[in-house]
Amino acid sequence: MNDFKTNANWTASVISDIKKQAETGGMLLTGMGNPSPYPNYWDRILLDASQVTNPSIDPLREPMELRTFLGRKSSKLEKETYPQLELSTPIMFSAMSYGSISLNTCKSLAMAATDSGIYWNTGEGGLHKDLYKYANRAIVQVASGRFGVHEEYLRAGAAIEIKVGQGAKPGIGGHLPGEKVSKEISETRMIPEGTDAISPAPHHDIYSIEDLRQLIYALKEATDYEKPVIVKIAAVHNSAAIASGMVRAGADIIALDGFRGGTGATPMIVRNHTGIPIELALASVDQRLRDEGIRNDASVVVAGGFRSSADIIKAIALGADSVYIASSALIAVGCTMCQKCYTGKCAWGITTQDPELVKRINPEIAKKRLNNLIRAWSLEIKEVLGSMGINAVESLRGNKERLRGIGLNETELKILGIKHAGE
Amino acid sequence: MILNKYRTEKDISACGLFGFINEDGKRQNGEIARKAMALMRERSNGLGGGFAAYGIYPEYDDLYAFHVMYDDEKSKERTEEFLSKNFIIGKDEKMPHRHVNAIKTHPLLWRYFLKVKEHKQDLAEIEEKDFVVKTVMQVNSVLEGAYIFSSGKNMGIFKAVGYPEDVADFFKIEDYHGYIWTAHGRFPTNTPGWWGGAHPFGLLNWSVVHNGEISSYGANKRYLEMFGYKCTLMTDTEVVAYLADLLMRKHQISIEKACSVLAPRFWKDIEGMSEKEKKEHTLLRQYYGSAMLNGPFAVLIANEKNLIGVNDRIKLRPLVAARRKSTLYIASEESAILEVCEKPDKVWHPKAGIPTIGTLKDK
Ligand code: SF4
């Protein structure tokens, strides 16, 4: 590729993509999240700290609380609450299906979530029989293909997530090629061995917000109103209006997935050009729900390329109750971001079903690394809370006073609802 | 509104505070509060002082007593026109004051005794109060140059820029007799010269004096906005007054529970509670996480029946309490209490996050 002459428009990748398409006549496929150099707002937001009038707090000496509850709360105290997910720290593992990732990877995530007191998410691939023992820490997903969805599955999970969209491929369905559908995957997904598993782009029973409401309540009925129902959408231009509709339709938690979120396989055209940054979607959704007085009716979970505890802290201050992480969790167990997931040949045994490769993930070791990551990030969050003179994460949530923008224009600041540094 | 001209998002201040309640209902003049505050002069810097007193207008006890500051005659006219739409003005007069050397200039100070008009009187009591809250919010946020700083019944707030003793002299507080008094001396780090920034802050019968900085201000403010409270004064103390109103008046939560919302028990302590208590405290934290006040504070909250003192969860600002017979004293410093009550039966240091409550006995 170095053979091409330097050209700002006709870069090496543009040229080689054109050549590839001229040969195959097909769409370009890729894996993981949007790698293009769009603005990353986390990097343009700074945190506040306490000085003099407000002592900072030393997390080594004083309790520092990260416990988080997700689910519907009404705005006035009642005797009972709606079902809640209790997290030891405001981080969860985002949806990754058995099929898109290996069983060993699923196992590592499930065990780590159980150890760390957080939740993992089955994705749309059903729950493998070996993973039922970790089901009380699982969010079980119901996606457009309905793979592996049955009563026992719904009852086993701690919460149910209706997946409407995904940040890496808004508006696009999924496709697990037949060669990956092994005996075990076919059993878990409840489809014949060797057939392609195709998730339609929309849910064919959801063409409107009233349809979504019906599905939400069908799932609540099926599980005796004992589990929160999450609705997950990709962050798109009108997320705020959609989110408000979702809450009114009965969603207990809404999950927003920004355009830097990862995937096992997606058309490059969609991954690189569709959707909006999670920072902006989060700020506008949180503000909209507040304006309508329904922010307490649902928790807000955000996903889409969280790289560090700093990103997470900023997300909480912008209004998130918790974040979902997936790419960073996979990096913790070996992923190098080569973006070749769609080939099914992940050298690290993550996004592959090849038994030789899958062996490379040792769930015990991987679990430990995931636990370490959660622990390390939680320690960092506590350290920062302390520096702000705050000793509970509730007091950071939506507390935009503690954020300042740097190098942002007025529109960006307005959408984020923060002031510029120096103000 | 009389503008906080520096437009700072929130007004940071340190302070001294004092309060007492005669639970037997005995009314005493403002001299006690003045004396206690004078002793704590060190804790303020002359940029704000104030008093709240309950039981001072017995002859008008079924009328809302509004204390209002105006920038000029124009803002007064505008406000009166606005108020007279929905209220009958029973009495209005210049607030009595005398000239003291330390207070050189002052806004127009007026007081009104008001009743909600007939056509509004089919309102249930809670709705009537909501209506008064709305009126206060409207005047303070929309009508330029007007600021209602006291809006309860049979109670009043008196505040100004100056040391508390000077403010006491200015408003002649020796002429008022109350069974609850709270007082405040301010040491702001900004917004000099703004009368509205002085404490107490009030809404309906609530009054709040506060020493501290609320680090969760942004979260609290956005939470309150969902319930129609507008934090226009840009001070964190305002948030405490609105939270008190929301929790204890609108949501009808007990004082103890409301204080647990403001300064929640730590999870490690909740773990060790009985099942019943554990559930109660967990529910409070689940529902009202955004109402938690974080950061250092000591605060006195009063209404017509109670004086409540509470600290932040790790007690980063001082608060001491004492009792003599049926009088409960709470102050920043023990010396201030001893100044006005030589031999208390008991003096103690309230624990972090645990409220100290004095309640008027039923007659
Ligand atoms: S290392 Fe594996 S999981 Fe990571 S990007 Fe490459 S193929 Fe995908």
Structural domain boundaries in chain A: 31-420
E strand segments, A221-260: 229-234, 253-257
Contacts of B170 (CB under 8 A, 6+ apart): B97, B98, B99, B100, B103, B106, B160, B162
Q: Which of A290, A293, A390 sits opposite B215 (nearest CB)?
A: A390
The DSSP string of B26-49 is --EETHHHHHHHHHTGGG--SS-E
CA distance A158 to chain B (A): 18
Residue B6: pLDDT band with limits 50, 70, 90: very low
- Give the chain A residue nearest B219 (alpha carbons): A399
Residues 34 through 63 of chain A touching chain B, CB cutoff 8 Å: 50, 53-55, 57, 62-63
Q: Which helix (H) or strand (E) holds A199?
A: strand A197-199
A351 lines ligand 1 (CB under 6 A): yes
Q: What is the pLDDT of residues B236-276, one digit of tens each?
A: 888 999 999 999 999 999 999 999 999 999 999 999 999 99
Q: What is the pLDDT of residues B109-140, one digit of tens each?
A: 999 999 998 766 566 777 889 999 999 989 98
Mutate to test the interface with A, among B222, B261, B268, B292 (most CBs of A within 10 A): B222
Question: Average pLDDT of B104-111?
Answer: 93
CB contact under 8 A, A395 and B215: yes
Q: Is the model's pLDDT at B5 over the cut of 70?
A: no
Per-residue pLDDT, B79:
95
CB contact under 8 A, B266 and A63: yes
Residue B13: pLDDT band with limits 50, 70, 90: low
Residues in chain A: 423
Q: Which of A74, A78, A394 sits opposite B289 (nearest CB)?
A: A394
Give CA–CA dist B204/B240, Å, rounded: 13
What phi and psi values does residue A32 have, to the nearest 5 degrees? Answer: 65, -170
CB contact under 8 A, A394 and B295: no
The DSSP string of B294-343 is -SSEEEEEE-SSEEEEEE-TT--S--EEEEETTEEEEES-HHHHHHH-SS
Q: Is the model's pLDDT at B8 over the cut of 50?
A: no
Which is the closest atom of ligand 1 to the Cα of A343? 7
E strand segments, A54-113: 68-70, 85-87, 91-93
3-state SS class at A299 = strand
Give CA–CA dist A423/B23, Å, rounded: 47
Compute the count of residue pairs across chains A and B with CB atoms less than 8 Å apart.
108
Per-residue pLDDT, B189:
65
Which superfamily does CATH assign the domain made up of A31-420 to?
A: Aldolase class I (3.20.20.70)
Q: Are B21 and B358 in contact (CB under 8 A)?
A: yes
Q: What is the pLDDT of residues A203-221, one digit of tens each?
A: 999 999 999 999 999 999 9
Using the Cβ of B6 and the Cβ atoms of chain A, whether some distance falls under 8 Å is answered with no
C-alpha pair distances (Å), B351 with each of A157, A390, B18, B118, B309:
42, 19, 17, 48, 11
Give CA–CA dist B10/B213, Å, rounded: 9
CB contact under 8 A, A398 and B290: yes
* Low pLDDT (below 70) residues in chain A: 1-2
Using the Cβ of A400 and the Cβ atoms of chain B, whether some distance falls under 8 Å is answered with yes
Q: Which amino acid is at A302?
A: V
**Minimal-distance CA residue to ligand 1 atom 6:** A338
Residues in chain B within 8 Å Cβ distance of A401: 9-10, 217-218, 221
Mutate which of A337, A345, A354, A358 for ligand 1 pocket (most atoms within 8 A of beta carbon):
A337
**Minimal-distance CA residue to ligand 1 atom 2:** A346
Give CA–CA dist B61/B179, Å, rounded: 14
Cis amide bond preceding B200, omega within 30? yes
Which is the closest atom of ligand 1 to the Cα of A331? 4
CB contact under 8 A, B286 and A395: no
Per-residue pLDDT, A290:
95
Give CA–CA dist B292/A271, Å, rounded: 41
A340 lines ligand 1 (CB under 6 A): yes
pTM for the model = 0.90
The residue among B242, B290, B313 whose CA lies nearest residue A397 is B290
Q: Is the model's pLDDT at B4 over the cut of 50?
A: no
Q: Is the model's pLDDT at B194 over the cut of 90?
A: no
Per-residue pLDDT, A179:
83
Per-residue pLDDT, B122:
64
**Minimal-distance CA residue to ligand 1 atom 4:** A335
CB contact under 8 A, A53 and B14: yes
How much of chain B, in percent, has pLDDT values that exceed 90?
74
The residue among A104, A43, A76 whose CA lies nearest residue A356 is A104
Q: Is the model's pLDDT at B191 over the cut of 60?
A: no
Using the Cβ of A394 and the Cβ atoms of chain B, whether some distance falls under 8 Å is answered with yes
The alpha-carbon radius of gyration of chain B (Å, integer) is 19
Using the Cβ of B314 and the Cβ atoms of chain A, whether some distance falls under 8 Å is answered with yes
Query: For residue B338, how many C-alpha atoms fall within 13 Å in the half-sphere facing its CB?
Result: 6
| Cα A350 to averaged position of ligand 1 atoms, centre (Å) | 7
CA distance A23 to chain B (A): 56
Tokens of A12: 């090496």
Per-residue pLDDT, B192:
56
**Residues of B noted as catalytic:** 15
A358 lines ligand 1 (CB under 6 A): no
Question: Average pLDDT of B146-172?
Answer: 95
Per-residue pLDDT, B193:
62
What residues does A234 pair with on adjacent strands?
A257
Give CA–CA dist A405/A413, Å, rounded: 7
Alpha carbon A227 to its chain's center: 19
CA distance B295 to chain A (A): 6
| Cα A104 to averaged position of ligand 1 atoms, centre (Å) | 15
**Minimal-distance CA residue to ligand 1 atom 8:** A341
Residue B234: pLDDT band with limits 50, 70, 90: low
Residues in chain A within 8 Å Cβ distance of B217: 399, 401
- The CATH number that domain B16-359 falls under is 3.60.20.10
Residue B190: pLDDT band with limits 50, 70, 90: low
